[in-house]
Amino acid sequence: MIFSERLHCGLLGLPDVGAEVLLAGWVDALRDHGEVLFIHLRDRSGIVQVVFSPESSGTVVCAAAGGLRAEYCICVKGRVVKRIEGTENPGIATGEIEVAATELAVLSKAGTLPFQISEKSMVAGVSAKRDENVSEDLRLQYRYLDLRRPTMQDHLMKRHRVAKVVRDYLDEQGFVEVETPMLTKSTPEGARDYLVPSRHYPKNFYALPQSPQLFKQLLMVSGMERYFQIVRCFRDEDLRPNRQPEFTQLDLEASFIDEEFLYSLFEELTVRMFRIGGVELPRPYPRMTWLDAMNATGSDRPDLRFGMTFKDATDIFTNTSYGIFKQILGRGGCIKGINVKGQSERLSKNVLQNEYAKEIVPGFGAKGMTWMRVVDGGLESNIVQFFSDAERQAILERFEAEKGDVILMIADPSWSLVCSALGQLRLHLADRLGLIPGDVYYPLWVTDFPLFEATEHGVTSSHHPFTMPDRTDFDPENVDELLTLKSRAYDLVMNGEELGGGSIRINDRALQNRIFKALGLSDAEAGEKFGFFLKALEYGAPPHGGIALGMDRVVAMILGTPSIREVIAFPKNRSAYCPLTDAPSTVASAQLAELGLLDLGGAGQVLPGTGEQQDLVDRLSWVSRIAIDVTEQADIKAAVADALNMADLVRDNAGNDEPMFSVVAVENHTRGGTAPRVSEFSQTGEIFKNAPAKKGGFFKVAAVLE
């Protein structure tokens, strides 16, 4: 058969009736009616029904078709015919026609499938039965089969469309796609780097880029003016369900621009991207300062698809006699609340007090929660009797309360704790009460972030140290002043998720120096870490700024998939492991030796997890968590060799007796009483006397996980 004549299954229709066609693809499903065999033939474009019958196909072809199984790769020749009325299948695009086969070639057979691939029923009005419980790891292990599913093919093709829209639009706007290196220098900032050992420079490492930040700024210094890249980035971070060790960013930088240029550019760009998923985003996107976002939602990525934004109630209680509030306000604290409109039916006293106040809200870090249900004639609560009439009235007005509402307040000496706990409570309630509308997309810009955050020793950058501050006349040694500085940074947020962010950068070497000074970095330290970049700022760096957008996350949102793994062809699983290739894996010690890495752990230190497979002693050292040094190797090897001999000896002499683990009868002794015994030594604290490290009332240990 000549593939150049091949047509696509999913594109056939009534106009093709009568035509001789050549099709190739996979057997999606089969239905055997005795003499007549129907199959769904699937290729990338879709599915068409092919019929094998003695009349149209002849007995030889029919007999060959009898051997077909799901996912055989085949080629079929036949004639397009209109289906008999009443046998159409509206469940597939080609449901009005079918192909009466005249020739069949099996191109490649398929073994037993680990899970079903077909998603389309062969019978009109019946949905295909699919086992939805296929484990994700099994899907990832056989990803090439998983990707045959039309749903997954659609995801990848739409992702391609989204990327194409990005490239087309940015090209129109004069942006140039430039590739930046994957093997680059490790910088100690940010997340952990993935390191790549260098063979030519033993014990030296490249790092995979966490983002092309410095390179894209260098491209601005290079005079490229407008750069973008759809680029892979790598971060060795703690495991999270929706996080990948490698991910794709749309990275963009432009010179001689300001924030308004980027807002406008990115709004138009994201509108076009979301259109691929049939979503029309309203422009312009609202903007919110970071402070307003925190005060209204307790989050720097507010979900504004629903209301329930915060009201500040601090002033209402300035002169309160309610002890807890009085004490908190006396310590400079604040009180914020939300009105859960019309939900008092579903939020009973019991739920509010025993679930939220006692369990859920303390889990968010707050010490407590005040709840009030709005009833006829005022407020109902377990503490409302401590409030004055004026306070009650002020609450009702401030929260625009009506009968049936529930008002929840959190008070704490720390403003950020109030914001964070109430913000989590807001999301928790919205989720529980079903207040989040589906199919709504609420994009917004969050702006005016603090430039610095306070640390024990001074300040650290909230974003990164190259971000332009809102003013430049600050004293780099005045910590209080530094903490009032805002950055010219912006985040694009949608539905409570950060899609991307960026900033206007510093292009003045002197200003950059003062920022490093504020961060407590000496000239020497700054030079050591970023010297190559700082030098570039000395050669006429233009004003510039940029933004980066997480492509995986955005495509997942556009397509409405539950996880970003659904829009990545070959992702790692939740544990950052690849079940398809079994990466990461140990490597042969020869490879490590070539890289000069065998003794990297220091003299005699066993490197956990590397050479285990090669050496029994190393493996035993690892499983029993006992490091050995070079001077011990020989003795231990000899002892383990003896153990191997002993194993042979006991095996040869085992006999048939039951194993005896103790010479006395083992009996179970149940301790009397039912109350747990608390050791007197833990009560007196003596139990810590022998601890090599302790902190407060706890044994101090290393982190459980890195």
Partner 1 sequence: MSDIYTYKNVSSDVPAGAVSPLSGVRVVVQPNISVRGWPCDAGSGALEGFVPLQDAAVITRLKSAGALLAGSSRMSELGFGLVGETTVRALEEGADVAVMTDTMGEARVTAAANGLFGFKPSFGVVSRFGLIGLVPSMECAGLVARDLDTIVDVMTAIAGKDPNDPSMPDEPAVDLASAREGFECPFRAGVVKESMDLLNETEVRSFKAGLARMEAVGAVIQEVSLPGYSLFRTVHNTVASVEASSSAGKYDSVRFGHRAPQGKNWNEMYLASRGESFRSLVKAFLFQGAFFQFEDYGAFEDACRIRNRLVGETMDVFRTVDFLVFPTRRTGHDPWEAASVKAVYESFLLTLPANVTGSPAVQVPACNVDGGVDIGLQVMGKRLDDARLLCAASAIAYTVPGGNAA
Chain residues in the site for partner 1 (CB under 8 A): 606, 608, 616-617, 619-629, 631-632, 635-636, 638-640, 642-644, 646-647, 649-651, 653-665, 667, 669, 681, 686-687, 689-693, 699, 701-706
Q: Where are the alpha helices (DSSP H) in 519-606?
A: 523-536, 551-559, 589-594
Q: Which is nearer to partner 1, 119 or 618 (CB)?
A: 618
Q: Which is nearer to partner 1, 84 or 705 (CB)?
A: 705
Closest distance between partner 1 and the C-beta of residue 634, in Å? 10
Closest distance between partner 1 and the C-beta of residue 267, in Å? 44
Closest distance between partner 1 and the C-beta of residue 656, in Å? 7
Q: Which is nearer to partner 1, 239 or 650 (CB)?
A: 650
Closest distance between partner 1 and the C-beta of residue 586, in Å? 16
CA distance 208 to 202: 17
Rounded to 10°, the helix 213-221/523-536 angle is 50
Q: Where are the alpha helices (DSSP H) in 595-629?
A: 616-623
Which helix H or strand E contains 407, and what residues bound it?
Answer: strand 406-412
Which helix H or strand E contains 111, and what residues bound it?
Answer: none
β-pair type (205-207, 176-177): unpaired
Q: b/e string for 670-694 if b means 16 or more Cβ within 10 A?
A: eeeeeeeeeeeeeeeeeebeeeeee
Q: Which is nearer to partner 1, 332 or 602 (CB)?
A: 602
Q: b/e string for 154-172 if b means 16 or more Cβ within 10 A?
A: ebbebbebbbebbeebbee
Which helix H or strand E contains 56, and what residues bound it?
Answer: helix 54-65
Question: Quick one: tokens of 75?
Answer: 């080629």
Give me the residues paired with residue 234 across strands: 246
Question: Which residue in the block uniquely carries the two structure tokens 């106009």?
Answer: 15
CA distance 597 to 593: 6
Q: How far is CA 19 from CA 22, 51, 100, 403, 555, in A?
A: 10, 15, 11, 71, 39
Q: Which is nearer to partner 1, 144 or 681 (CB)?
A: 681
Question: Quick one: tokens of 153?
Answer: 């093919």
Reference 533, options 187, 96, 98; nearest CA is 187
Closest distance between partner 1 and the C-beta of residue 638, in Å? 7
Other Cβ atoms less than 10 A from the Cβ of 540: the count is 9
Q: Which is nearer to partner 1, 196 or 616 (CB)?
A: 616
Q: Which is nearer to partner 1, 241 or 604 (CB)?
A: 604
CA distance 471 to 20: 73
Question: Quick one: tokens of 471?
Answer: 């003013």
Closest distance between partner 1 and the C-beta of residue 640, in Å? 5
Question: Which residue in the block uniquely carries the two structure tokens 């706890």?
Answer: 698
Closest distance between partner 1 and the C-beta of residue 593, in Å? 22
Characterise 293 by phi-psi region: left (phi > 0), alpha (psi -120 to 50), beta (else): alpha
Closest distance between partner 1 and the C-beta of residue 456, in Å? 20
Q: Which is nearer to partner 1, 529 or 619 (CB)?
A: 619
Closest distance between partner 1 and the C-beta of residue 637, in Å? 9
Closest distance between partner 1 and the C-beta of residue 635, in Å? 5
Closest distance between partner 1 and the C-beta of residue 613, in Å? 13
Rg value, the chain, Cα: 33
Q: Which is nearer to partner 1, 124 or 638 (CB)?
A: 638
Q: Which is nearer to partner 1, 51 or 606 (CB)?
A: 606
- DSSP code at position 461: E
Q: Which is nearer to partner 1, 72 or 622 (CB)?
A: 622
> What backbone phi and psi angles, to 5 degrees, belong to 85?
-55, 135
Closest distance between partner 1 and the C-beta of residue 627, in Å? 3
Which helix H or strand E contains 649, and what residues bound it?
Answer: helix 630-652
Q: Which is nearer to partner 1, 260 or 706 (CB)?
A: 706
Closest distance between partner 1 and the C-beta of residue 610, in Å? 13
CA distance 156 to 27: 21
> What backbone phi and psi angles, to 5 degrees, belong to 660?
-110, 115
Q: Which is nearer to partner 1, 678 or 703 (CB)?
A: 703
Question: Quick one: tokens of 499?
Answer: 């899609």
Closest distance between partner 1 and the C-beta of residue 344, in Å? 48
Q: b/e string for 511-521 if b means 16 or more Cβ within 10 A?
A: ebbbbbebbeb
Q: Which is nearer to partner 1, 113 or 687 (CB)?
A: 687
Q: Which is nearer to partner 1, 157 or 643 (CB)?
A: 643
Closest distance between partner 1 and the C-beta of residue 432, in Å? 36
Closest distance between partner 1 and the C-beta of residue 679, in Å? 9
Q: How far is CA 521 from CA 34, 510, 517, 692, in A?
A: 81, 14, 6, 35
Reference 303, options 424, 451, 450; nearest CA is 424
Q: How far is CA 684 from CA 435, 469, 585, 681, in A?
A: 51, 54, 48, 5
CA distance 217 to 509: 13
Q: What would the DSSP string read from start to end of 266-311?
A: HHHHHHHHHHTTT----SSPPEEEHHHHHHHHSSSS---SS----E
Q: Which is nearer to partner 1, 70 or 620 (CB)?
A: 620
Closest distance between partner 1 and the C-beta of residue 654, in Å? 4
Coil vs helix vs strand at 7: strand
> Residue 496 in contact with residue 559, Cβ under 8 Å?
no
CA distance 604 to 618: 11
Half-sphere exposure of 151 (CA within 13 A, CB side): 11
Q: Which is nearer to partner 1, 106 or 636 (CB)?
A: 636
